[in-house]
């Protein structure tokens, strides 16, 4: 049945306050439609109802970017970013735009952060090299990508101050603590001892490597329960300043092929986020690079913010002398120093932590980072 012989109506689209929507945002568009069909009228009415129902869901809600980090000095960009978000002065938020909000998640172990990536609980996380390697292998290269560097350096081998260890041969029959079985410093320690000619197994050998949580290392070292510790900041400085440990070896000395640089922390992304939100990732990486520059240009202010955030997350900040001493061993960077990651994976395979020869051909995706660096007139990384 025909309702009108010549039906004319105005279809007015509401204004939506959303800068991320493509179209004539901020205007009311009027389209004049002529039809002779009631069916068309009913269809337009249904369409109008649907737009009204979906308006808030499609146009009003912000995109939430979920980012992980550790309460550790080697995660400086994450800590400072989190701190500024708490203060309502979000560094990343200002550069992502008002249609994106950032949620921060704090982890105390790399495997937990990687599991959160697998579970789609977070999109990005600052994490150490070995958890990223393990996650990449576990997912057969399908789940995570390293998209930027964050920190280089910070690790050292310290020994008891009584002179019991003065040269490499003195490590025979000794106990050396590392933070965790198979973690970055544990692998570096075992690889170095092997290079000195020692046989080291998970249960013993010429040198007993004892995986011990960082807080327990300090107490054990002070009681004489271990002869040496291979760890990372701020624990190196705490051992030196609080337990009178002597630095036997800076880890930078075992990386001549990279000029003493080695990855301590990098930024990883889920493949899903990288694929579906490359535009947001580009803005985040630009903010990451700019924050890294700011940190290096304003170290005192950066250390203050970082320490305030550590205190908020753990209830206790670092003493000024610990913080200052730790900072000297670190380089805050966006360079992932990929050659050091590859060698770390090879060492883990040779030691026996990785069963098959690792294939890391897809672990990096630095295309977006290099586009950002190019736009800022900075050299590319690989």
Question: DSSP string spanning 216-241?
Answer: HHHHHHHTTS-SEEEEETTHHHHHHH
- More confident call, 52 vs 83: 83
Could you give the CA distance from residue 290 to residue 282 in angstroms, rounded to a whole number?
Answer: 12
Torsions phi, psi of 329, nearest 5?
-90, -5
Burial class (CB in 10 A: 0-12, 13-18, 19+), 211: middle
- The domain in which residue 230 lies consists of 155-258
Q: How confident is the model at residue 12 (pLDDT cuts 50, 70, 90)?
A: very low
What integer pLDDT is reported at residue 10 of this predicted model? Answer: 34
Q: Tell whether the model's pLDDT for residue 26 goes beyond 70.
A: no
Q: Do 298 and 233 have their domain in common?
A: no
Could you give the CA distance from residue 247 to residue 336 in angstroms, rounded to a whole number?
Answer: 26
Q: Is residue 242 part of a domain?
A: yes
Q: Tell whether the model's pLDDT for residue 157 goes beyond 60.
A: yes
pLDDT tens, residue by residue, 172-182: 999 999 998 98
Q: Do 159 and 187 have their domain in common?
A: yes
Q: Which of 240, 258, 276 is the last residue before a domain boundary?
A: 258
Torsions phi, psi of 379, nearest 5?
-70, 150
Burial class (CB in 10 A: 0-12, 13-18, 19+), 350: middle
Q: Do 366 and 281 have their domain in common?
A: yes
Q: Tell whether the model's pLDDT for residue 290 goes beyond 50.
A: yes
Q: Is residue 381 part of a domain?
A: no
Contacts of residue 332, Cβ cutoff 8 Å, sequence gap at least 6: 76, 77, 150, 151, 292, 295, 296
Bond from prior residue into 234 cis (ω within 30 degrees of 0) = yes
Contacts of residue 219, Cβ cutoff 8 Å, sequence gap at least 6: none
Q: How confident is the model at residue 204 (pLDDT cuts 50, 70, 90)?
A: confident
Three-class DSSP category at 145: strand
Q: Is residue 97 part of a domain?
A: yes
Of the chain, the percentage scoring pLDDT greater than 70 comes to 84
Q: Do 74 and 17 have their domain in common?
A: no
Tokens 């990098």 -> residue: 266
Q: Say what angle helices 278-297 and 367-375 make with each other, to 10 degrees.
A: 60
pLDDT tens, residue by residue, 54-86: 333 345 578 999 999 999 999 999 999 999 999
Q: Do 268 and 279 have their domain in common?
A: yes
Q: Tell whether the model's pLDDT for residue 365 goes beyond 90.
A: yes
Q: Do 268 and 371 have their domain in common?
A: yes
Number of separate domains in the chain: 3
CA dihedral sign, ordered 133, 134, 140, 146: negative
CB 116 within 8 A of CB 125: yes
Q: Which of 258, 279, 301 is the last residue before a domain boundary?
A: 258
pLDDT tens, residue by residue, 294-338: 999 999 999 999 999 999 999 999 999 999 999 999 999 999 999
> Helices (DSSP H) in the chain: which residue ranges?
38-55, 76-86, 91-96, 110-118, 129-138, 184-195, 214-222, 235-243, 271-276, 278-297, 299-314, 320-327, 338-351, 367-375
Q: Do 14 and 35 have their domain in common?
A: yes
Q: Do 174 and 68 have their domain in common?
A: no
């Amino acid at each position: 049945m025909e309702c009108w012989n010549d039906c004319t109506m105005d279809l007015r689209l509401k204004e939506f306050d959303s800068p991320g929507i493509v179209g004539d945002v901020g205007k009311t568009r009027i389209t004049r439609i002529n039809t002779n069909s009631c069916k068309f009228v009913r269809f337009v009415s249904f369409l109008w109802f649907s737009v009204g129902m979906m308006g808030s869901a499609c146009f009003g809600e912000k995109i939430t970017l979920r980012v992980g980090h550790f309460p550790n000095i080697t995660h400086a960009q994450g800590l400072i970013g989190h701190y500024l978000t708490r203060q309502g002065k979000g560094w990343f938020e200002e550069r992502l735009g008002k249609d994106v909000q950032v949620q921060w998640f704090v982890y105390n172990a790399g495997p937990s952060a990687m599991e959160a990536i697998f579970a789609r609980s977070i999109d990005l996380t600052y994490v150490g090299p070995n958890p990223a390697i393990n996650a990449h292998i576990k997912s057969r290269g399908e789940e995570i990508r390293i998209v930027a560097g964050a920190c280089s350096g910070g690790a050292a081998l310290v020994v008891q101050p009584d002179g019991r260890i003065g040269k490499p041969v003195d490590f025979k029959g000794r106990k050396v603590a590392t933070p965790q079985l198979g973690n970055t410093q544990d692998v570096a320690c075992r690889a170095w001892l092997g290079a000195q000619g020692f046989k080291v197994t998970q249960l013993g050998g010429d040198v007993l490597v004892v995986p011990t949580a960082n807080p327990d290392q300090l107490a054990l070292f002070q009681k004489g329960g271990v002869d040496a510790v291979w760890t990372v900041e701020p624990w190196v400085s705490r051992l030196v300043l609080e337990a009178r440990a002597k630095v036997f070896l800076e880890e930078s000395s075992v990386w001549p092929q990279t000029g003493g640089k080695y990855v301590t922390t990098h930024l990883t992304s889920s493949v899903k986020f990288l694929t579906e939100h490359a535009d947001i990732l580009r803005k985040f990486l630009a903010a990451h690079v700019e924050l890294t520059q700011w940190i290096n240009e304003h170290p005192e202010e950066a250390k203050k913010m970082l320490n305030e955030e550590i205190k908020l997350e753990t209830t206790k900040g670092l003493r000024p002398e610990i913080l200052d001493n730790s900072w000297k061993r670190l380089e805050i960077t966006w360079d992932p120093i990929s050659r050091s990651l590859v060698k770390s994976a090879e060492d883990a395979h040779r030691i026996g932590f990785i069963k098959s020869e690792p294939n890391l051909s897809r672990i990096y995706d630095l295309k977006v980072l290099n586009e950002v660096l190019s736009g800022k007139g900075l050299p590319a990384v690989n």
